[in-house]
Amino acid sequence: MTKPPHKNRKLSPAESDLWQTVMGDVEPLPESVIADTKALSESETISDEASQASESKSSPPSSSVPVSPLSPTPVPAQPTPAPDLSHGAGPGLDRRTQERMRRGQIDISACIDLHGMTQAEAHRTLGGFLFDVQAQGHKAVLVITGKGKMGEGVLRDAVPRWLNEPENRQMIRAFSHAAPKDGGEGALYVLMKRLK
């Protein structure tokens, strides 16, 4: 660690010239503004008049602003979104569980059939279902989407996207296409996270 510069150090002639150049067009604050700023505490605000007196004339007037002269304002950390899930994979999901999902060897404790619903109905119903089964402590559920006509299942394509939406993503560990006995590509196994 380096020592801080000595407080009583004299400026060199070059530093003194530079300082005079920088400070050449600076005007002292009026006494009323200096007295006002000394009286401020962290809970008080700067009035529009004091703000205008301390700012340059080219800047627009500002509204009252909370002042905390000695402590910087902390910037809240943005939560990092969880990575999107894909069929049969999830963070922290072991290989054995992935294999059991692929083979359909998981204990399904609840089921919902979205087949035949509109997208809006299915989206709303899925969110409510996931919330309810997590609250009830279910570990694995079956979501039936249907395969659609000619392999063009609207819900079959939409449900994996919906499962990756932040409000749903925080409730699930993983999802995968169901085994043929449970609906194949027209259904999904969903592994739920435990409530904390």
Mean pLDDT of 166-193: 90
pLDDT score at 43: 42
What's the whole-number average pLDDT of the chain? 76
Q: Does the model's pTM come out above 0.85?
A: no
Selected residue with higher pLDDT from 190 and 151: 190
**How far apart, in whole angstroms, are the C-alpha atoms of residue 155 and residue 162?**
10
Nearest residue to 163 (alpha-carbon basis) of 155, 175, 149, 152: 175
**How far apart, in whole angstroms, are the C-alpha atoms of residue 171 and residue 65?**
40
Mean pLDDT of 38-55: 50
Tens of pLDDT, residue by residue over 58-110, are 555 555 555 555 555 565 655 555 555 555 556 667 788 888 888 888 899 99
Question: What is the H or E stretch that residue 53 is in?
Answer: helix 48-54
- What sign for the dihedral angle of Cα 51, 56, 62, 67? negative
**How far apart, in whole angstroms, are the C-alpha atoms of residue 196 and residue 194?**
6
In total, the chain counts a number of residues equal to 196
Which of the residue ranges 14-18, 41-45, 178-182 would you say has the lowest mean pLDDT?
41-45
Residue type, 161: R
Per-domain residue ranges for the chain? 29-66, 95-192
Identify the band that residue 174 occupies on the pLDDT scale cut at 50, 70 and 90.
Answer: confident
- φ, ψ of residue 121 to 5 degrees: the values are -60, -45
Tens of pLDDT, residue by residue over 107-147, are 999 999 998 899 999 999 999 999 999 999 999 999 999 88
Question: What is the H or E stretch that residue 18 is in?
Answer: helix 13-23
Q: Contact 125/116 with Cβ under 8 angstroms?
A: no
- The CATH topology of domain 95-192 is Ribosomal Protein S8; Chain: A, domain 1 (3.30.1370)
Q: Measure Cα distances from 147 to 114, 141, 152 in Å.
A: 11, 18, 7
Which of the residue ranges 24-33, 94-103, 155-164 would you say has the lowest mean pLDDT?
24-33
Identify the band that residue 11 occupies on the pLDDT scale cut at 50, 70 and 90.
Answer: confident
